[in-house]
Amino acid sequence: MVDFDVRLGLSPADLALRNIAIKRPEDWLDLSPEDDPEIRLVQENFASELIRSRRFRDEKTIWVRPAKIVVILTLLRDHPDTEFSFLSDLTCVDLLKVNEDETEPRFQITYNLYSMATYKRLRVNALVEIGQQIETVEGVWPAANWLEREVYDLFGIVFAGHSDLRRIQMPDDWIGHPLRKDEPLGGEEVEFSFNVRGR
Amino acid sequence: MPRGVYIEPYEENTDLMVVNMGPQHPSTHGVLRLVVELDGETIVNATPHIGYLHTGIEKTMENLNYYKALVCTDREDYLSNLINNTAYSMAVEKLMDVDVPARAQRLRVILNELERIASHLIWLGTHALDIGAMTLFFYTWRERDQILDLKEMMSGVRMMTSWICPGGLRGDVPAGWVEKASMFVEHFPVKIDEYDKLLTKNPIWIERLTGVGIISAQDAVAYGMSGPSLRGSGVAWDLRKANPYCGYEQFEFEIPVGTKGDVYDRYLIRMEEMRQSVRILKQALKDIPDGLVRTSDRKIAPPPRAELDTSMESLIHHFKLYTEGYHPPVGEVYAACESGRGEKGYYIYSDGGNMPYRVKINGPSLKNLQALPKLARGRMIADVVAIIGSIDIVLGDIDR
C-alpha cells in the first residue's frame, strides 16, 4: 500500500517539520520523592536500578532495569506506603520502531499495578534486551502466571523460573512470535475480480 | 467363602483419568478446552486451554488509526460491547486530553448500565441452562432483546454498535428513546423478581451452588480476579465507586458483596447488581443534560456535515480526521471501566503516530479463568460447569 505521505505530496522537508511538531512529547514531568512514595522507595532502596520516571496525564510510570525486578515489586507490594496488592496487567511493548538505534533495549515489560487499599495505580516498566531473560513475578502475584505466558507466546521473552512457560494463545507448534514489530500482520488479500486466485 | 476370611485389597490403582471437555462443548461458554484429571469422580486438576478464538485484535489495532480501531473493541467482550467502547474511548481521551460534554457522559452511564443488565441476563440464562433450569434461558433472552431493540433504535445495530467513541458518542439518541428506555426500566424489576422466585430459594439450585468453587479474598486478589468473582469473596471493590468515571459519583447505588465466596454468593451478587443497575438507570434517565454529544474539539471529532459547505477549516479537519486521523502525544495511558465481569482496561502506548503503537486489552475474564484449577480442585465435573458459569467468562475477552 502506498504511504500516506507520498499520496499527500509531502516532501521530506515537510515531513521533518511535521515530525517535530507531533512527536515532541509534552513537557516531561519527573516524579518527585516528596509527593510520590513509590519513587521515594525505589530511589532509597534501588537507586542503581532506576532509569527514569514520568508523570503523564495524572499517571505515574517508573522505568527500571530488569535485574532486581522481583525485589522491587515485592517491596512495592508489601510496603505500607504503597501497598500495590493487585496486579492489574502485565504486558510487553516492542520498541523496535521507537528506538533510535540498536543499542537501546528492545522490549519493555509493563506492570500495571493497583492498590486495593489506596485505589491508586502505578506503572513499572522493565527494559529488556532481545535474548535477555527476566525473572518471573509469579511468586509476587499468582496472576502473573498466564500473563507472562502470553508475553512469552506473543513476544518471545523468556521468564526465568516460571512454572509452566509455554504457548497460550497461539497453537503449540507455531513458529515465531506474532506481536513483534518485525512479524507481518498476516491475513489474505481481498479477492476482487481482477485478482481472482487461480486464474 | 467361609465367613471371617479377610481378603486383601488389590494395590490401589493410582492412575488418573483424563477427561477432555473439548473446545466444542455446550457448557464451556465459548471455545474453551478443559483438560480435567479425575481420581474417581473428584477432580485433581482442571487445566484450561485457551486460544481457540485468538484473532490478533491487538495487532490489528496497531494497523488502524485511533478512530478505526474502535470497531475492533466491540468484538472482544462481545456481550458488553458498549463497555469496551467506553474503556477504549476513555483511554484515548486521556491520551489526547479531551473533555467529554455532560450529555455524552450521562448517555454513557445509561448505555453502560443497560449493557451491564444485558450481560448479566445472558449470564443468568446460560448459567441456569448449564445447571439444568432451562426455562429461564428463554425469559432472559426476551428481556435482553428489549435492550438490543434500544441499541438498534439508537444506532441501527443491535450488538456491535461502536457508538461510544473518543470524544463522546457518535450521535444523539433519537426522539422517544428515553421514553422507551424508561418504560423498560419500569417493567424490568418485575422480571428480576420472577427469576428470583424461580431460582433463589429453589432447593435444587441451592444444593448445586452452595459450597462450590470457594476462593478466599486474599487468593482472589492475588490471582487478579475482579468483578463479581472477587466481590463474592468479600472484597468490596468496584471501579464505579473506587475510581469513578463518566460521572458515576453523582448516582446513588450500592455494591453487593458476598461472604463465603462460593457460586451461590456470586449468583446473588449478580442478581442484586441488576437491581442496582435499574436504580442507577432510574436516576440517570431523569433530566439528561442538553448539549452536544460529542466534543466540539475539532482535533478529535469531525465537524457536522452542514459546516463543510461554508467553512474551509471544517473541510480540512474533516479530511484530515477521516483520512489520516489524529496524532496523540508520545506517552502511555491506562483507563479502566467496570464491566459485568470485572475490570476492563486498555493500555495504550503512543509513539506520536496516527495509529496506536501498542494496545493491550486487559480483559477480566483471563485472570478470572486463571483461578479455575484452584476453584475446581476436589469437586466433581458437574461443579466445574457451575463454576465456569459463575465466573462468567467470555472467550472473546480471553483470547482476543
Measure the CA–CA gap between A173 and B247, rounded to whole angstroms. Answer: 48
- Split at pLDDT 50, 70, 90, the class of B79 is very high
B364-383 pLDDT, tens digit each: 999 999 999 989 888 988 88
pLDDT over threshold 50, residue B384: yes
Residue A165 within any structural domain of the chain: no
Mean pLDDT of B228-255: 91
At position A16, the amino acid (one-letter code) is A
pLDDT over threshold 50, residue A24: no
The x, y and z cell numbers of residue A31, run together, are: 516524579
* Of A149, A187, A185, residue with least CA distance to A170: A149
Mean pLDDT of A182-190: 82
What residues in B contact A119, CB-CB < 8 Å? 242-243
Residue A155 within any structural domain of the chain: no
**Range name among B95-99, B110-114, B331-335 with the lowest pLDDT average:** B95-99
Q: Is A6 on the interface with B (CB under 8 A)?
A: no
Considering chain B, what percentage of its residues have pLDDT values greater than 90? 58
The strand pairing partners of B110, in sequence order, are none
| Position with higher pLDDT, B86 vs A172 | B86
Entry pTM: 0.89
| Position with higher pLDDT, B30 vs A17 | B30
Q: Is B254 on the interface with A (CB under 8 A)?
A: no
The verdict on a CB contact (< 8 Å) between A25 and B329 is yes
Residue B15 within any structural domain of the chain: no
The verdict on a CB contact (< 8 Å) between B58 and A179 is yes
Give the best residue of B53, B233, B332, B348 to mutate against chain A (max A CB count within 10 A).
Answer: B332
In this complex, the residue of B50, B63, B334 whose CB is nearest that of residue A121 is B334
pLDDT at B174: 92
| Position with higher pLDDT, B7 vs B214 | B214
Give the best residue of B221, B255, B360 to mutate against chain A (max A CB count within 10 A).
Answer: B360
Residue A19 within any structural domain of the chain: no
The verdict on a CB contact (< 8 Å) between A23 and B352 is yes
pLDDT over threshold 70, residue B262: yes
Residue in A closest to B374 by C-alpha: A142
Residue B19 within any structural domain of the chain: no
The verdict on a CB contact (< 8 Å) between B347 and A85 is no
What residues in B contact A188, CB-CB < 8 Å? none
Residue A60 within any structural domain of the chain: yes
pLDDT at B160: 92
Residue B260 within any structural domain of the chain: yes
- Kindly provide the b/e burial profile for residues B253-273, where b requires at least 16 CB atoms within 10 angstroms of the residue's own CB: bebbbbebbbbbbbbbbbbbb
Residue B48 within any structural domain of the chain: no
Considering chain B, what percentage of its residues have pLDDT values greater than 70? 96
Number of domains in chain B: 1
Distance from CA of A193 to the nearest CA of B (A): 26
In this complex, the residue of A88, A123, A145 whose CB is nearest that of residue B332 is A123
**Range name among A24-28, A67-71, B90-94, B219-223 with the lowest pLDDT average:** A24-28
What separation, in Å, do the N-terminal and C-terminal C-alpha atoms of chain A show?
23
pLDDT at A19: 57
pLDDT over threshold 90, residue B104: yes
CATH number at residue A104: 3.30.460.80
Distance from CA of A197 to the nearest CA of B (A): 24
B135-165 pLDDT, tens digit each: 899 999 999 999 999 999 999 999 999 999 9
Residue in A closest to B327 by C-alpha: A22
Number of domains in chain A: 1
pLDDT over threshold 60, residue B2: no
Q: Is B333 on the interface with A (CB under 8 A)?
A: yes
- Split at pLDDT 50, 70, 90, the class of B275 is very high
Mean pLDDT of B11-37: 81
pLDDT over threshold 80, residue A26: no
The verdict on a CB contact (< 8 Å) between A57 and B97 is yes
CATH number at residue B136: 1.10.645.10
CB B144 within 8 A of CB B151: no
- Split at pLDDT 50, 70, 90, the class of B222 is very high
**Residues in CB range of B80: below 8 A, 6 or more apart:** B115, B116, B118, B119, B339, B340, B341, B344
Mean pLDDT of A10-20: 61
Residue A190 within any structural domain of the chain: no
Give the best residue of A30, A52, A78, A89 to mutate against chain B (max B CB count within 10 A).
Answer: A89
What residues in A contact B332, CB-CB < 8 Å? 56, 59, 61, 110, 123
Q: Which residue range(s) make up the domain with A79? A: 25-135
Measure the CA–CA gap between A161 and A164, rounded to whole angstroms. Answer: 9
Per the prediction, chain A carries an average pLDDT of 84
B189-208 pLDDT, tens digit each: 999 999 999 999 999 999 99
Residue A91 within any structural domain of the chain: yes
Distance from CA of A159 to the nearest CA of B (A): 18
pLDDT at B12: 61
Q: Is A116 on the interface with B (CB under 8 A)?
A: yes
Distance from CA of B127 to the nearest CA of A (A): 25
The verdict on a CB contact (< 8 Å) between A119 and B243 is yes
In this complex, the residue of A56, A89, A169 whose CB is nearest that of residue B360 is A89
Residue A179 within any structural domain of the chain: no
Q: Which residue range(s) make up the domain with B304? A: 57-399
| Position with higher pLDDT, B187 vs A100 | B187
For every residue of chain A, which 3-state class applies, written as one string?
Answer: CCCHHHHCCCCHHHHHHHHHHHHCCCCCCCCCCCCCHHHHHHHHHCCCCEEEEEEECCEEEEEECCCCHHHHHHHHHHCCCCCCCEEEEEEEEEHHHCCCCCCCCCEEEEEEEECCCCCCEEEEEEEECCCCCEECCCCCCCCHHHHHHHHHHHHCCCEECCCCCCCCCCCCCCCCCCCCCCCCCCCCCCCCCCCCCCC
Q: Is B370 on the interface with A (CB under 8 A)?
A: yes
The verdict on a CB contact (< 8 Å) between B347 and A112 is yes
What residues in B contact A19, CB-CB < 8 Å? 352
Q: Is B99 on the interface with A (CB under 8 A)?
A: no
A110-155 pLDDT, tens digit each: 999 999 988 999 999 999 998 899 999 999 999 999 999 999 999 9
- Length of chain B equals 400
pLDDT over threshold 90, residue B88: yes
pLDDT over threshold 90, residue B22: no
pLDDT over threshold 60, residue B220: yes
The verdict on a CB contact (< 8 Å) between A179 and B352 is no
Cα Rg, chain A, nearest whole Å = 21
Considering chain A, what percentage of its residues have pLDDT values greater than 90? 36
| Position with higher pLDDT, B344 vs A4 | B344
Measure the CA–CA gap between A54 and B330, rounded to whole angstroms. Answer: 12
Distance from CA of A69 to the nearest CA of B (A): 18
